Structure 1
Amino acid sequence: MKNILLIVLLSVLSVQSKAQNLSIPENPKLEVAEDYKKYEDLVLRCVSYLYDNPVNVNGEKRLECMSFLVKWMDGAPNVTVFIHAELVDMKEFEVMFAYMGAFVEYALGHEDADELKIISYAVKKSVSMYEKNEDHLKKGKVMRKLLRAKKKGKLDSYIKDVYR
């Protein structure tokens, strides 16, 4: 019993520690391309934070990360996020942010990647985030289709068919 309590305590402290190390500016200067480039590391750390931490923990820090990502994506000259309604449900808020974050993450790390590869990565990462947090998230129509395709081993072909 003591071991279980110790593991839970260490997990909570680890999550809180990560959140405290993630300092997000309230009003980031995002005017020219260099401004956006300067914040790419923070963008990637926010994406990791949103993916790595449960959706029901530290909601304030999640909202800070989401808000910052929206500001950055709104004017980023080198990344344009494409959302397909059959791959991402705008009403599935947390999943949508997982998708957008993964899209940005892959696009920044693979500047020459084609759109289908980026979208495929983003969809798979958003499905994975959903699966990690399914007890706290609503499963909408889009996610049900994605999970069905994944279960059948046909997620890649489903994404490709929708993308066309």
Structure 2
Amino acid sequence: MKKTLTLITIIVAFCFTAKAQTFHVPENYTLKEKEDYGKYEDDVIKAVDWLQDTPWALEDQKRMETNAFLMKWMQGSPTVSIEINTSVAKMTEKNPQLLMTFMGGYTKYALQNKSAFNKTKANQAGVKAVIDKYVVETDHKNNSLLNKLTKIEKDGKLADWMASDFNKTK
């Protein structure tokens, strides 16, 4: 049993390392004009995926650089505008890393659905990303809302919760 667990651990670590090497934070990027942002959309999606797939405990320097790149892109993007409501604040208050996870999920949805963008679905993509990351991060701080949302999502009722409770302030 110990050999099997050790082998699984090695395989998982290898997979994270292999995937982590596929994304490189853009260097010397320029985000001044509207046209600049479109050039980096593929990099934004890759950065979001990398943050989602890479455990918090790994690659601190690359994580900081990736977060800085994404934040700069998101703040100036002429095509993606994210609103953080009370529900998102409550989901991320104990684990601030999850705020970038939400914004990343939202942004990825927006970029992949330009012609059929739906704000509710973008918010749901952000919430789903947060739930997924919360579940896999073993060192997260307990969050009662995310525990509830994990069960709701598992039961296939996240869209219902989004429609009824996401925009409510409590």
Q: TM-score, normalised by structure 1?
A: 0.84
Deviation at 1:2, TM superposition (A): 6.3
- The answer to whether the aligner puts 1:126 opposite 2:127 as a matched pair is no
Distance in 1 (CA, whole Å) between partners of 2:53 and 2:133 is: 8
Q: In the alignment, what sits opposite 1:85?
A: 86
Q: Report Cα offsets for 1:11-43 as digits up to 9, x if no partner.
A: 434433443443224542101111111111111
Counterpart contact for 1:73–1:80, Cα < 8 Å = yes
Deviation at 1:123, TM superposition (A): 0.6
With over 3 angstroms needed to count, the CA separation of the structure-2 counterparts of 1:88 and 1:157, relative to structure 1, is farther
- The answer to whether the aligner puts 1:115 opposite 2:119 as a matched pair is yes
Distance in 1 (CA, whole Å) between partners of 2:74 and 2:65 is: 14
Q: In the alignment, what sits opposite 1:106?
A: 109
Counterpart contact for 2:34–2:77, Cα < 8 Å = yes
Q: In the alignment, what sits opposite 1:95?
A: 98
**Structure 2, unaligned runs of 5 or more:** none
**Structure 1, unaligned runs of 5 or more:** none
Counterpart contact for 1:19–1:61, Cα < 8 Å = no
Deviation at 1:83, TM superposition (A): 1.5
Distance in 2 (CA, whole Å) between partners of 1:6 and 1:157 is: 40
Distance in 1 (CA, whole Å) between partners of 2:104 and 2:37 is: 15
CA RMSD, Structure 1 to Structure 2 (Å): 2.4
Q: In the alignment, what sits opposite 1:47?
A: 48
Matched position secondary structure for 1:86: helix
With over 3 angstroms needed to count, the CA separation of the structure-2 counterparts of 1:147 and 1:14, relative to structure 1, is closer
Deviation at 1:126, TM superposition (A): 1.2
Counterpart contact for 1:88–1:99, Cα < 8 Å = no
> Aligned residues: percent identity?
31
With over 3 angstroms needed to count, the CA separation of the structure-2 counterparts of 1:147 and 1:4, relative to structure 1, is closer
Counterpart contact for 2:16–2:54, Cα < 8 Å = yes
With over 3 angstroms needed to count, the CA separation of the structure-2 counterparts of 1:87 and 1:160, relative to structure 1, is farther
> Matched residue pairs, number?
163
Q: In the alignment, what sits opposite 2:142?
A: 139
Distance in 2 (CA, whole Å) between partners of 1:153 and 1:14 is: 28
Distance in 2 (CA, whole Å) between partners of 1:43 and 1:106 is: 11
With over 3 angstroms needed to count, the CA separation of the structure-2 counterparts of 1:139 and 1:26, relative to structure 1, is farther
With over 3 angstroms needed to count, the CA separation of the structure-2 counterparts of 1:13 and 1:145, relative to structure 1, is closer
